[in-house]
Amino acid sequence: MKNADSQNDTIVLQSEVSEPDGVAIVRSYLNTLPNSPGVYRMIKSDGRVLYIGKAKSLKKRVASYTNLARQSNRIRRMVSETSTMEFVTTHTEAEALLLEASQIKRYTPRYNILLRDDKSFPQILVTGDHDYPQILKHRGARSRKGEYFGPFASAWAVNETLSFLQKVFFLRTCTDSVFEARTRPCLLYQIKRCSAPCVGRIKDEDYSDMVEQARSFLNGRSTDIQQKLALQMQHASDTQDYEQAAQYRDRIRALTQIQSHQDINLAGLEASDVIAVHHVGGQSCVQVFFFRSGQNYGNRAYFPSHGNDAETSEVLEAFLAQFYDKTQPSKQVLLNLDLPNRALLEEAFSIRAGHRVRILVPSRGDKRKLALLAETNARKSLERRLAESATQRKLLEDLSSILGLDSLPERIEIYDNSHISGTNAVGAMVVAGPDGFIKNAYRKFNIKGDKPPTGTPSHTGAGLSDHNQAAYTAGDDYAMMHEVLTRRFSRAMKEDPDRKSGQWPDLLLIDGGAGQLGVAVDVLSELGIDDVVVAGVAKGADRHAGRETIYIPGKPPVNLERKDPVLHFIQRLRDEAHRFAIGVHRAKRGKAAIRSTLDGIPGVGGVRKKALLHHFGAASAVANAGLDDLKAVEGISRAMAVRVYEWYHPED
């Protein structure tokens, strides 16, 4: 079957080979494949994508898989598991590279080099859609009008920079709705962090000048700003305006502090990403440094997932393709080693960025020093990770021995609930593995208060308390745990009944004692799941940490020594679940606290609600308004005014 569109031609070919021979299956496609660029997918019999690759010539690249004598053991296994292939043709090899990167992120094939952490980087935005621009932290697509600066390696780096910018330029950080509603200066004005344009404490031209100074600073012209402030301070002092002179002095001090916080400040260095890889023992670390306007915007370490036989250059090339699938490339990328497809990567990144991107491997000078700095950080990060992995493996071995597991758990799920007297109840699931917490696998559950099914058996066993499921009530911790686990595993059985996705846990840890553990055992029994180990972790008397009791079905409770590393490991798992559950609960409670009575009116969305609140000042004033008053609101039609009025006055 062949589907064609204006950009790509998609070819999905089903093999007619009857024998499940991977080489024969691959060979069966050769007669119909073109010699044009494209992307190919190798697929297992159960539909899972094994590998995604790009090629300058699809026919030649696929043909190479029919000669297993020249392939590694990993490739031989991959070919042997292949039952079908799919192909997408592209106009150029650069387009194939971009498509390959996006599909690898989508399908996460087993045999590809994978970039697990692809969270977007924060930036600083100076807005351009308001008469008084605000300066704020931004993450995600550049959809709002304004000027963006970054990326920064961490939210901490952005927050620190914003804090310093407030001290120097006094730009507002409040939202537009807060700005419009202010009648007097806020606390930030009192502590000299904002110039209070909301209430006219600064002239329009002076505020615009500060905005331009902030842009200049973020573009690397901090020295010019410092000289200008020094002249203004001297002029204020000469005219005996000592209070104004003191303000300029404080701004100069803050600016000097910002400059002194830069670990590396290379004059004349254009916007650059410095990326280095270190590979040892079948594992790799890639360090990414961001330099903008001669300033260091921080760094981050990545640990791509790949086979033991992967070459260092292969790892770095695959990393770059996936990393810049979501992150905007800078004009210059500095590497610590050369790549065979460097020209192709430059072409692909230039297409994505909309400007020329150069990939350089410096051999001397300051740029070489930066590449070596990144390489040193990559080596040290990998050394720490290998040491931590060895410690983590020992902890998992000891935990497996205590709980009677047959093998080391690859996936541990820890559950906790959070609520206040049953209100805003949430459940939380955190996940841990051999490499630590897997934060992109965390899940939250908004408790619906559904009662568990009646007539189900109640679990009893050594060290476990009986509990009557018919007595479950909304807000009860037992009922909450029952609902969370039922929803989690009912969905898992529906979406992955064969347990081939790697999303099924080997071990469940429940934050609670015998009662909560009994609920978990009951849920698994109700769903017919008998191969997942479950244990409960309860704090000691007065909820004293360090005296935890571990409850295991069918076994006496276990109390570990207070200094036992396994106990500290379990505490860390339990505390992470508790932290995540409380965070989710607070977010839900805060959202509920700011809900307005307007939210329930049919047809009143964000725009109309904003218009009503701006006109009347508060939801209570809207409730007391007459029909004629509602009609006078801009954007509120006669029919909508009647609807709002009847919502608050149904008796009329």
What is the tens place of the pLDDT at every residue in 191-218?
888 889 999 889 999 899 888 888 877 7
Provide the number of structural domains found in the chain.
5
- Is 483 inside a domain boundary? yes
- Is 402 inside a domain boundary? no
Query: Are both 563 and 605 inside the same structural domain?
Result: no
C-alpha to C-alpha distance for 189 and 187, rounded to whole angstroms? 5
User: Cα(first)–Cα(last) distance of the chain, in Å?
Assistant: 65
* pLDDT at residue 237, rounded to an integer: 80
**Single-letter residue type at 535:** A
Tell whether omega for the bond before 151 is within 30 degrees of 0, i.e. cis.
Answer: yes
- This prediction has a pTM of 0.64
Query: Are both 477 and 417 inside the same structural domain?
Result: yes
Residue where one domain finishes, among candidates 225, 260, 295? 260
Query: Are both 238 and 147 inside the same structural domain?
Result: yes
- Is 403 inside a domain boundary? no
* pLDDT at residue 422, rounded to an integer: 66
Residue where one domain finishes, among candidates 260, 281, 301? 260
Query: Are both 278 and 228 inside the same structural domain?
Result: no
* pLDDT at residue 489, rounded to an integer: 93
- Is 399 inside a domain boundary? no
Query: Are both 466 and 537 inside the same structural domain?
Result: yes
Query: Are both 149 and 70 inside the same structural domain?
Result: no
Q: Give the bridge partners for 11, in sequence order.
A: 2, 87
Domain CATH number, residue 491: 3.30.420.340
- Is 534 inside a domain boundary? yes
Query: Are both 517 and 605 inside the same structural domain?
Result: no
* pLDDT at residue 61, rounded to an integer: 92
Domain CATH number, residue 608: 1.10.150.20
Cα distances from 303 to residues 113, 300, 441, 534, 535, in angstroms, run 10, 10, 17, 30, 31
Query: Are both 69 and 169 inside the same structural domain?
Result: no
- Is 41 inside a domain boundary? yes
**Residues in the chain with pLDDT values less than 70:** 1-20, 116-119, 220-224, 226, 248, 250-268, 294, 421-422, 450-475, 540-546, 590-597, 651-652
Query: Are both 561 and 644 inside the same structural domain?
Result: no
Query: Are both 442 and 574 inside the same structural domain?
Result: yes
Angle, alpha carbons 209-212-217 (nearest 5°): 125
* pLDDT at residue 251, rounded to an integer: 67
**357 with 331: CB under 8 angstroms?**
yes
Range of the domain at 10: 2-107
Query: Which residues does 40 contact at the CB level (< 8 Å), separation at least 6?
Result: 52, 53, 55, 58, 61, 62, 85, 86, 87, 88
Given its phi and psi angles, is residue 196 left (phi above 0), alpha (psi -120 to 50 degrees) or beta? left
Domain CATH number, residue 28: 3.40.1440.10
* pLDDT at residue 230, rounded to an integer: 77
- Is 407 inside a domain boundary? no
Query: Are both 451 and 541 inside the same structural domain?
Result: yes
Query: Are both 550 and 630 inside the same structural domain?
Result: no
Residue where one domain finishes, among candidates 107, 132, 148? 107
C-alpha to C-alpha distance for 262 and 272, rounded to whole angstroms? 16
- Is 331 inside a domain boundary? yes
* pLDDT at residue 307, rounded to an integer: 83
285: nearest Cα among 293, 297, 277: 277
